[in-house]
Amino acid sequence: MKKIIRIVSVSVLAMLAHNQAQAQAPDCDAACLVGIAQQYMQDVVTKDFSKLPWGDAVRFTENNVGMMIGEGFWGAGPSVVNDGIYLPDPQTGNVVWWGITGEHGQAAYHGLRLQIENRAITEVESYLGREGTPDLFAPVADYKVSAAFTARVDADARTPRDRMIALVDGWFNSVQLNDGEIFTSIAADCTRTINGLNITNGDYWAAKQVEGCKQQLEQGLFKPADRIRARRYPVVNEETGVVVALSLEDHAVRYVDYKSKSGADLKVEVEYPNTHGRLELFKIVNGEITEVDGVSVFLPYYIHSLWAE
């Protein structure tokens, strides 16, 4: 009897170890995640979502508004203007597509997030930065997705996953406080693009005479941002040094005139309370943020996040 019990115990332990190994392995690896996202982008153009691997329950939002599958972008003459890039994270089961799409010929900067569970789509979250809103917007013909966000980082220049998230969270803390203190590490040549517009170098900041991500934070140029909440980091990739961040940035507009740290007179661009919904890509090399790109969408002030706890 003792011998039988011993054999059964070993078998049970082996089975538990096997199950644990399976649980730790991603159900859908990077290639699987990208494949589902590619199918999604192909089927959205034909408006045929019947062939996609949907889960039993799906949460679907566009610009932080809950809706039925097939509504919004799906139903408005959608097209894919460029190939875009796919950013998978098997550890979280998320994949993000970033690129340009169009509706009836009008293009938009588009960030799409899919949550995949058991090889089925359970969450769809999109932010589309369309022309004609008070938010920033640059002509799409001049925009190219930076190759940096898919390029591998040399092994000795990589940053651990938790540290990467902390660096991006520190960026948000720096923008939110905006008193010249910086709570992250930023490369000297860091650039930031929003809806195709480079806001760290070039004509946009010429009047303010402050260029560069770090320098602008040191001067408190983003002081109108009162808080950055509902922060989430669905994709983190140590090999490419990329973090995809989602957030809501509130502008209470309690004043319209303000000064930089050096005393330059500045003015709030939109003079009524508003919130910006954002999906942004952060590139991190040697423990420093080197590039930021993403979409920003103008939303009602203090809108409730449909995704954050």
pLDDT in tens, 25-49: 468 999 999 999 999 999 999 999 9
Whether residue 16 has pLDDT greater than 60: no
Q: Are both 117 and 255 inside the same structural domain?
A: no
- pLDDT level of residue 172 (50, 70, 90 thresholds): very high
Q: Are both 87 and 156 inside the same structural domain?
A: no
For residue 95, give both structure tokens: 């994949």
The residue among 79, 106, 132 that closes a domain is 132
The residue among 99, 132, 165 that closes a domain is 132
Rounded to whole angstroms, the Cα distance separating 28 from 105 reads: 35
Residue 307 lies in a domain: no
Q: Which residues span the domain enclosing 188?
A: 147-300
Q: Are both 110 and 183 inside the same structural domain?
A: no
DSSP reduced 3-state for 39: helix
Strands 54-62 and 120-130: parallel
Q: Are both 201 and 73 inside the same structural domain?
A: no
Q: Are both 151 and 259 inside the same structural domain?
A: yes
- pLDDT level of residue 152 (50, 70, 90 thresholds): very high
The residue among 132, 158, 186 that closes a domain is 132
Q: Are both 100 and 178 inside the same structural domain?
A: no
Q: Are both 160 and 296 inside the same structural domain?
A: yes
Beta bridge partners of 121: 54, 116
Q: Are both 124 and 257 inside the same structural domain?
A: no
DSSP reduced 3-state for 287: coil
Q: How many domains does the structure of the chain reveal?
A: 2
Residue 10 lies in a domain: no
DSSP reduced 3-state for 214: helix
Which pLDDT value is given to residue 13? Answer: 31
* CATH number for 99: 3.10.450.50
Whether residue 200 has pLDDT greater than 50: yes
Which pLDDT value is given to residue 201? Answer: 83
Task: For residue 41, count other CB atoms closer than 10 A to its CB.
Answer: 18
> Which one of 82-86, 113-117, 196-200 scores highest in mean pLDDT?
113-117
Across 78-82, average pLDDT: 92
Which pLDDT value is given to residue 6? Answer: 30
What pLDDT digit, counting tens, does each position of 223-237 carry? 999 999 999 999 999
Residue 305 lies in a domain: no
pTM summary value: 0.90
Which pLDDT value is given to residue 55? Answer: 97
